[in-house]
Amino acid sequence: MVASSASTQMTHRTVLSNGITLIVTENPIADLVAGRLFFPQAGGCWETLAQAGLFHLMAAVITKGTRRYSAVEIAEQVESIGASLGASASSDYVALSLKTVTKDFQTIFKLMAEILREPTFPPEEVELERKITLQSIRSQQEQPFNVAYDLLRGQMYPQHPYGQSILGTETTVQSLTPEDLRQAHQRHFRPDNLVISLSGRITLEQAEAIAEQTLGDWQNPPEPLPPLEIPALVPQGGFWRQEKDSQQAIIILGYLTGTVADDDFFALKLLSTYLGNGLSSRLFVELREKQGLAYDVSAFFPTRLAQSQFITYIGTAPKNTAIALQGLYDEMQRLVAAPLAEVDLQVAKNKLLGQYALGKQTNAELAQIFGWYESIGLGIDFDQAFRSHVEKITTAETHQAAQRHFQQPYIVVVGPQEALSLVQDIQLS
Ordered DSSP codes for 68-83: S-BHHHHHHHHHHTT-
Between CA 216 and CA 222, with CA 219 as vertex, the angle to 5 degrees is: 160
pLDDT at 9 over 80: no
For the whole prediction, is pTM greater than 0.75? yes
Ordered DSSP codes for 230-287: --------EEEEEE---SSEEEEEEEE---TTSTTHHHHHHHHHHHHSSTTSHHIIII
pLDDT, the chain, mean: 94
Average confidence (pLDDT) over 307-332 = 97
Percentage, residues of the chain above pLDDT 70:
98
What pLDDT shows up at residue 3?
Answer: 53
Total length of the chain: 429
Give Rg (Cα) of the chain.
23
What pLDDT shows up at residue 226?
Answer: 87
pLDDT digits (tens, 9 = 90+) for 27-71: 998 899 999 999 999 999 999 989 999 999 999 999 999 999 999
pLDDT digits (tens, 9 = 90+) for 220-258: 999 999 888 888 899 999 999 999 999 999 999 999 999
**Residues in Cβ contact with 147 at an 8 Å cutoff, skipping those fewer than 6 apart:** 140, 141, 242, 244, 250, 414
What pLDDT shows up at residue 331?
Answer: 97
Helix (H, G, I), strand (E, B) or coil at 100: strand
pLDDT digits (tens, 9 = 90+) for 69-89: 999 999 999 999 999 999 999
Which helix (H) or strand (E) covers residue 401, if one does? helix 395-405
Average confidence (pLDDT) over 4-22 = 82
Q: How far is CA 234 from the centre of its chain?
A: 22
pLDDT at 6 over 50: no
**pLDDT-derived band at 427, boundaries 50, 70, 90:** confident
Q: How far is CA 342 from the centre of its chain?
A: 31
What pLDDT shows up at residue 425?
Answer: 84
pLDDT at 352 over 90: yes
**pLDDT-derived band at 428, boundaries 50, 70, 90:** confident
Average confidence (pLDDT) over 146-167 = 95
Lowest-pLDDT choice from 1-5, 87-91, 262-266: 1-5
Inter-residue contact 20 to 194 (CB < 8 Å): yes
Domains of the chain: 2-215 (3.30.830.10), 238-422 (3.30.830.10)
Amino acid making up residue 35? G
